[in-house]
Amino acid sequence: MSLDYVKFSGGFEKFMPKEYRDMVEHGPFGKKISVSQMGSFKEILEEHPMCAGCAMTLFIRLAIIAFPNPEDTITVGTAGCGRLAISQAAIPFVYGNYGDQNGVASGLSRGLRLRFGDKPKDVVVIAGDGGTADIGFQQVLHSWFRKERFTTIMLDNEVYGNTGGQESGMTNRGAVLKMAPLGKKFEKMDMLQMAKVAGCAYVATVVPNNPRRVESVIKKAVLIAREVGSTYIQAYTSCNIEYAIPTDKVMEDAKNVENDRYQFTEYVSEEAKQYLAERYGYKEFLPKPAAPAAAIPNKA
């Protein structure tokens, strides 16, 4: 892996499809690209079979643009809708059995460190709420307790979308779904709190209706995971099919849900703050100058 893998093989250039040629010549590899340039460079994500208007797709699109070094990134996924798009991107994608993703990523990230030493290779797990909080729960928690250095992103559509609407641990209490007709009886799992208890160095919630924020959160999470420890992003990525959201109202729903229960939150450990400030120049995490001594009240 390096910029070498986005080159034409000798003699093949004229036979490659246009999309491939555009990727080599106008893709984001080796460049600093941001969401503000969307529509003017060839994206790593290609066409894919996810549903029209799916917010999860938009989030995946933004996340891939936000990867700090896409040429040195490997995504790991599992069963669920997201893999249908993540696998159609021009970066390596590892597909584990349902729920295995954090175990696979643990081995992968350790192996890459043995093979490539200090040069960072970023491992990013992207999986659904069922894959993360239910089926993969054990491996997710263990990877966090072990401080495995990779990023875990939960695509939280609050349902098993790919298999037609069963409730997941992340579904809200009372939600009625096609295959949960009596309504969910338990509360939504608090994976954010669990991530903090398990020692994640960075924990954030986002909604895709703020592309710049998605970009900033992904960058921080990936950079921190290079050296400091596990990082976790929980993104609300509605399923317009299972929650019957008209596709032209998906962003309105995202806004409402953001105001209701998915406000932006960000936890950064002290070590991670220092690392971001010193290594990557994040000014907001530089130590604050000591406050001037409080003025002595004028007793006159």
Partner 1 sequence: MYLVADIDVSICAEKSCKLCTQYCPEANTIQYSEEMGKSKGFKYGSAYVAVDRCKGCAQCVWVCDNMAKNNAIKMIMIDQLPLAAVTDNIRYDEKSTVAVLSNPMIVIGN
Ligand X SMILES: Cc1ncc(C[n+]2csc(CCOP(=O)(O)OP(=O)(O)O)c2C)c(N)n1
The binding site for partner 1 (CB under 8 A) comprises: 18-19, 22, 25-26, 35-47, 50, 52-55, 57-58, 61-62, 209, 211, 247-252
Q: Residue 25: name its binding partner from ligand SF4, ligand X, partner 1, none (Cβ under 5 to 8 Å by kind).
A: partner 1
* Six token digits for residue 140: 């997710």
Residue closer to ligand SF4 by CB (options 50, 79) is 50
CA distance 102 to 137: 9
129 binds ligand X (CB under 6 A): yes
* Closest C-alpha to 147, from 229, 208, 56: 229
Among 33, 44, 50, 124, binds ligand SF4 (CB under 6 A): 50
Name the minimum Å distance from CB 216 to partner 1. 14
Name the minimum Å distance from CB 17 to ligand X. 29
CA distance 81 to 61: 14
Q: Which residues contact 115 (CB under 8 A, 6 or more apart)?
A: none
Residue 50 CB neighbour total at 10 angstroms: 20
In the DSSP assignment, the letter for residue 107 is H
3-state SS class at 266? strand
Residue 202 CB neighbour total at 10 angstroms: 26
CA distance 43 to 52: 18
Residues 60 to 119 in contact with ligand X, rule: CB under 6 A: 79-82, 97-98
131 binds ligand SF4 (CB under 6 A): no
Name the minimum Å distance from CB 61 to partner 1. 6
60 binds ligand SF4 (CB under 6 A): no
Burial of 227 (0-12, 13-18, 19+ CB in 10 A): middle
Q: Assess contact for 33 and 41: CB atoms under 8 A.
A: yes
56 binds ligand SF4 (CB under 6 A): yes
Q: Which residue is nearest to ligand X (CB)?
A: 128
Residue closer to ligand X by CB (options 71, 134) is 134
- Region binding ligand X by CB under 6 A among candidate stretches 12-20, 67-75, 104-112, 160-168: 160-168
CA distance 162 to 98: 12
Q: Residue 182: name its binding partner from ligand SF4, ligand X, partner 1, none (Cβ under 5 to 8 Å by kind).
A: none
**One-letter amino acid identity for 216?**
S
Among 112, 239, 254, 268, binds ligand SF4 (CB under 6 A): 239
Residue closer to ligand X by CB (options 183, 199) is 183
Residue closer to ligand X by CB (options 43, 129) is 129
* Closest C-alpha to 66, from 231, 227, 184, 216: 216
Among 161, 169, 211, 229, binds ligand SF4 (CB under 6 A): 161
240 binds ligand SF4 (CB under 6 A): yes
* Six token digits for residue 150: 């990779």
Name the minimum Å distance from CB 64 to ligand X. 16
* Six token digits for residue 85: 């798009």
Residues of this chain that interact with ligand SF4 (CB under 6 A) are 50-51, 54, 56, 81, 157, 161-162, 239-242
